[in-house]
Amino acid sequence: MTFQRLILAFLATLYLVNAEFDLTNTKWNTDNDTFTGTLKPSTSSSNTYSIDLNELQFSLTVMSESTSRIKITSPSRYEIPEYIVGVGGSDNLSIDDANFTFDYTESPFTFTITDLDGSTIFSSSEQLYFGDQYLELTTSLEENNKLFGLGEKSRSTGSVVPKGSKTTMWARDMAAAEFDTNLYASHPFYISLSSSGNANGAFLRNSNGMDVNYSSSGDSLTFATLGGVIDLFTFTGPTPKEVVKQYQEIIGTPTLQPYWALGFHQCRYGYSKLQDAKDVVQGYKDASIPLDIAWLDIDYMNLWLDFTYDEVNFPAEEVKDFVDQLHDNNQKFVPIVDPGILAVDPSWDWAQDYDAYHSGISMDVFVKDFTNEKPYMGQVWPGPVHFPDWFHPNATEFWTTQLKNWHDVAEFDGVWVDMNEVSNFCTGQVCENSDPENCPTHQVDTQTQCCLSCTDVDPENALDNPSFLIGNDEGINDDKSPSPINFKTIPASAKHYGDLDEYNVHNLHGTMEAKVTSDAMESIRGTRSFVLSRSSFPGHGNHASHWTGDNAATWEDLKMSIVTVNDFALFGISMVGADICGFIGDSNEELCARWIQVGAFHPFSRNHNTFGAAPQEFYRWDSVAESARRALGMRYQILPFMYTLMWKANINGETVSNYLWSVFPEDEATHGVDKQFMLGDSVLISPVLQDQARDVDAYFPAGKWYNLFTLESLESAGEVVNLATELEEANAHLRGGKILPMAASGSLTTVDVQQNDFTLVVALPSDEGDSSGELFVDDGESIVVANFLHMVYSATSSSLTSKAVESSFDASNAVSTVKVLGGAEAKVQSATIQVNGDSKSNVDFVQEGEVLIFTLVDVGLGDEFVLEWS
Ligand SMILES: *[C@@H]1O[C@H](CO)[C@@H](O)[C@H](O)[C@H]1NC(C)=O
Ligand SMILES: *[C@@H]1O[C@H](CO)[C@@H](O)[C@H](O)[C@H]1NC(C)=O
Ligand SMILES: *[C@@H]1O[C@H](CO)[C@@H](O)[C@H](O)[C@H]1NC(C)=O
Ligand SMILES: *[C@@H]1O[C@H](CO)[C@@H](O)[C@H](O)[C@H]1NC(C)=O
Ligand SMILES: *[C@@H]1O[C@H](CO)[C@@H](O)[C@H](O)[C@H]1NC(C)=O
């Protein structure tokens, strides 16, 4: 332990003093249905950190029937602007109309939110801290409930937040392959689920560094944050889906992705030349494996400078030809961009004409150091860099111009923004490049070692040294202790435009960059943007997508990918996936064959691996190629359904990839399941996640299920079913009672999918009940969805009805086939169809075992029809 550590450890004990407040001046304001009051520290308490805060304002606002907002504030405290993280709209409902009640005690002050059944949603303890650099709020929880959410973290225990655990929120460039430590994003949101399936949740709208402690008995949860205000939202549910929807009513719903982004993406770090990427695209084509998007990682850059191409190995002219070729083949191109802009030294001939630097300086857009005078210098891939300040009024123009000029060279379709926690290879309050001849080294093996001279000019700076040490980096250091918050990022004392401290806005960086990049791409291309970002914060989903970062090519990481993707769905980011086959380390045939059987069904589906690792494109092994053809073949068939889910997420705050408990909360057996997942509430994915295994034990909630590959049915009483699963086989089951719009098989790009004929697959339930489904279709790229087709389907055991809810988009696809699963117990004699109210005509059909197959003629996707059989 260093001397500094010792001091910090000593200071950290001081906050443990008791703090209680009294509430006075309470009143209900009838004009806006807000309850307000004034909080004063109780005379008995000695709150060490409340130095200058003698009086706090308390308010409770009824945001909606289900959602309360509780604020504890003091003037001039940092609050997240609403343009970054929305606060929905308040209905100004009277508390009497809400589905929760609000109670409080005045001395000592506590408050409680309770649902109408009397279950506690949030119940604050008497201890409340509100200091300059330390705020603490504790709630009691129902100890038999399971807790989910609180990220971003790869939890070795799986989906359930373990009792006695601490979740630290401080965005950090740490590989997702490191379990049980803080990663790229902060999401202070949880769902509490009872054994009977009742759910509630809470969101602390605070961007400061934070620890969230879950007590060892599960009876309480403590938010301990380094600043800002208490701005708490509670959600009554009562179902998990409603909690997530209520959360998204506050922070906003996921942006609708362009259709092509749902195609399969292939990337890697470590192409030595453009020809490598061309060979990969050709390899997919030769193996007849679907591929929509080719990516380039930092390899393409000239000396790792943003917006440049390496003149020798990735000449701009050739990249342009490559991209044009991709476009001719209905494929897309996405390159990477990092936030660090090379800080050009006057002695470097090789960088004197680097426009991003010079225009950034003249527009004054870079984050400043603690003096607020000079741009802060850090180091990332290019070497010494400055970081764009997304709060600066010139940032959007700067970034849009840089992207636009670069887009003029080769027309990329989307952008990947990486390293935006922000990652910094150096640690220090102020850094200088005192050795420009040797810094940067321009060598891949030494480039990540700090070559700047960094000093803490102002060692007493309170922002850089808060007395309370959150668990940043904890468990990863050799001595397992936390690192200071400045560790390998922009120091907390650095300044953003408007005198904002990095201390308060650190966790917002990734989402801010994603927003500016998404806006820039929309204005450059005039179409819906696709932006993939590593760091995120609540509200991120409104602008961009996310991948789970640097995982490893291990079975544990494959399992973890299911948890992380489903957690991010809870966080309001629907477009999420993990690097298929694993990023770090060499993948292998067995792992890669199994990984695509998971990744093909994640909303964002990309194979990616690291520099120096063995190639892992699916066509490298016969079995993996076959596995990919089957799994991705099925993905491309169900894309119309997946795209419909993405739209429902966008308009309604629904989720695309789901934990089973989110769909079947009343079935307690689903609550711990995290090795299977569902798409919407219709398709269940049950992958093999073990080396050499040729079967898997999968839980099936009660009802009828149909294997989407073979159409065979199984009936479950709510039980574990053993599924024989050869290496090339994925398991995807359609739930009885659902109707799935599917594209014809054989598509190799999403353009094929959008042009292909459709099949409607009706999965009848075990009882005589009805089935239902729906479909959304548009042009797949308009920023404003003005014209679209929205069809709803319903079926009984002897009829299928198609109705148009909205038909302002003219889809030219035919519905050529209807398959009814589980409907052919008695021999069917005849079938008729009535299209758009015209007279009935006969329909050809065949009966194959349990499956009835109808062949429709001249029926379009937008047609209303009734198909009947008897
Ligand atoms: C709620 O009340 C506030 C303050 O009185 C007002 O500004 C706002 O427009 C109201 N919102 C609605 C939805 O009525
Ligand atoms: C509600 O109205 C009161 C009294 O006008 C005001 O003090 C308070 O700030 C308002 N609260 C909100 C959330 O609008
Ligand atoms: C609130 O409760 C009423 C009555 O129980 C119910 O109809 C309504 O759906 C509930 N609202 C929400 C948002 O849960
Ligand atoms: C959180 O739990 C850790 C033990 O895991 C403890 O050291 C720390 O003091 C707790 N923090 C708070 C704010 O309760
Ligand atoms: C924005 O950039 C212009 C130069 O293009 C500069 O004159 C101006 O001062 C910058 N604005 C701010 C707020 O720094």
Q: How far is the CA of 21 from the centre of ligand 2 (A)?
A: 21
pLDDT at 45: 55
- 646 contacts 574 by C-beta, under 8 angstroms: yes
Q: How far is the CA of 33 from the centre of ligand 1 (A)?
A: 9
Ligand nearest to the CA of 165: 4
- 644 contacts 774 by C-beta, under 8 angstroms: yes
Task: Give the whole-angstrom CA distance, residue 197 versus residue 563.
Answer: 19
- Ligand 3 atom at minimal distance to the Cα of residue 99: 1
Ligand nearest to the CA of 16: 4
Q: How far is the CA of 62 from the centre of ligand 1 (A)?
A: 11
Active site residue 550: yes
Does residue 36 line the site of ligand 2, with CB under 6 A?
yes
- The residue with greater pLDDT, 824 or 299, is 299
Q: How far is the CA of 61 from the centre of ligand 2 (A)?
A: 9
Q: Which of 166, 169, 210 to mutate to test the pocket of ligand 4 (most atoms within 8 A of CB)?
A: 166
Question: Exposure of 144 by Cβ count < 10 A (0-12 exposed, 13-18 middle, 19+ buried)?
Answer: exposed
Residue nearest to atom 6 of ligand 3 (CA): 99
pLDDT at 398: 98
Task: Give the whole-angstrom CA distance, residue 540 versus residue 533.
Answer: 9
- 732 contacts 685 by C-beta, under 8 angstroms: yes
Q: Which of 11, 181, 213 to mutate to test the pocket of ligand 4 (most atoms within 8 A of CB)?
A: 213
Residue nearest to atom 2 of ligand 1 (CA): 32
Q: Which of 173, 418, 567, 863 is catalytic?
A: 418
Contacting residues for 41 by C-beta, under 8 A, at least 6 apart: 19, 20, 21, 22, 47, 50, 54
Q: Which of 421, 513, 579, 590 is catalytic?
A: 421
Tokens of 432: 């200088």
The average pLDDT across 625-645 equals 98
Q: How far is the CA of 32 from the centre of ligand 1 (A)?
A: 6
Active site residue 589: no
pLDDT at 75: 87
Q: Which of 32, 62, 64 to mutate to test the pocket of ligand 1 (most atoms within 8 A of CB)?
A: 32
- The answer on pLDDT for 15 being more than 60 is no
Ligand nearest to the CA of 358: 5
To the question of domain 757-869 being in CATH 2.60.40.1180, the answer is: yes
Task: Give the whole-angstrom CA distance, residue 776 versus residue 793.
Answer: 12
Residue nearest to atom 5 of ligand 1 (CA): 32
pLDDT at 824: 65
Task: Give the whole-angstrom CA distance, residue 290 versus residue 627.
Answer: 12
- Ligand 3 atom at minimal distance to the Cα of residue 65: 13
Q: pLDDT band at residue 557, thresholds of 50, 70 and 90?
A: very high
Does residue 59 line the site of ligand 2, with CB under 6 A?
yes
Does residue 65 line the site of ligand 3, with CB under 6 A?
yes
- The answer on pLDDT for 6 being more than 60 is no
Which residues have any ligand 4 atom within 6 Å of their CB? 136, 166, 211, 213, 222, 224
Q: Which of 57, 58, 59 to mutate to test the pocket of ligand 2 (most atoms within 8 A of CB)?
A: 59
Other Cβ atoms less than 10 A from the Cβ of 746: the count is: 13
Which residues have any ligand 1 atom within 6 Å of their CB? 31-32, 89-92
Q: How far is the CA of 551 from the centre of ligand 4 (A)?
A: 28
pLDDT over 90 percentage in the chain: 91
Q: How far is the CA of 363 from the centre of ligand 5 (A)?
A: 5
Q: Which of 33, 90, 91 to mutate to test the pocket of ligand 1 (most atoms within 8 A of CB)?
A: 90
pLDDT at 384: 98
Ligand nearest to the CA of 88: 1
Is residue 265 classed as helix, strand or coil in its secondary structure? Answer: strand
Q: How far is the CA of 198 from the centre of ligand 3 (A)?
A: 14
Q: How far is the CA of 74 from the centre of ligand 2 (A)?
A: 14
- Taking alpha carbons only, the member of 393, 339, 368 closest to residue 502 is 368
- The answer on pLDDT for 678 being more than 90 is yes
- Residues 507-530 pLDDT 10s: 999 999 999 999 999 999 999 999
Q: pLDDT band at residue 574, thresholds of 50, 70 and 90?
A: very high
What's the helix, strand, coil split of the chain in %, to 5?
Answer: 20, 30, 50
- Residues 186-213 pLDDT 10s: 999 999 999 999 999 999 999 999 999 9
Q: pLDDT band at residue 31, thresholds of 50, 70 and 90?
A: confident
- The answer on pLDDT for 32 being more than 90 is no
The average pLDDT across 132-140 equals 94
Task: Give the whole-angstrom CA distance, residue 69 versus residue 79.
Answer: 14
H or E segment and range at residue 637: helix 622-652
Helices then strands (H, E): number in the chain? 13, 50
Residue nearest to atom 1 of ligand 4 (CA): 213
Does residue 25 line the site of ligand 2, with CB under 6 A?
no
Active site residue 838: no
Task: Give the whole-angstrom CA distance, residue 228 versus residue 55.
Answer: 15
Task: Give the whole-angstrom CA distance, residue 752 versus residue 636.
Answer: 9
Q: Where are the domains of the chain?
A: 757-869
pLDDT at 230: 97
- Residues 319-372 pLDDT 10s: 999 999 999 999 999 999 999 999 999 999 999 999 999 999 999 999 999 999
Other Cβ atoms less than 10 A from the Cβ of 13: the count is: 9
Ligand nearest to the CA of 67: 3
- Residues 711-770 pLDDT 10s: 999 999 999 999 999 999 999 999 999 999 999 999 999 999 999 999 999 999 998 899
Q: How far is the CA of 621 from the centre of ligand 3 (A)?
A: 54
Q: How far is the CA of 90 from the centre of ligand 1 (A)?
A: 7
Reported pTM: 0.96
Does residue 529 line the site of ligand 2, with CB under 6 A?
no
The average pLDDT across 677-689 equals 98
Tell me the CA distances in angstroms from 841 to 253, 423, 838, 868, 869, one per residue in order.
44, 65, 9, 10, 12
- Residues 849-859 pLDDT 10s: 889 999 999 99
pLDDT at 745: 96
Does residue 61 line the site of ligand 2, with CB under 6 A?
yes
pLDDT at 198: 97
Q: Which of 389, 502, 550, 863 is catalytic?
A: 550
| Mean pLDDT taken over the chain | 95
- Taking alpha carbons only, the member of 257, 413, 278, 403 closest to residue 334 is 413
pLDDT at 767: 85
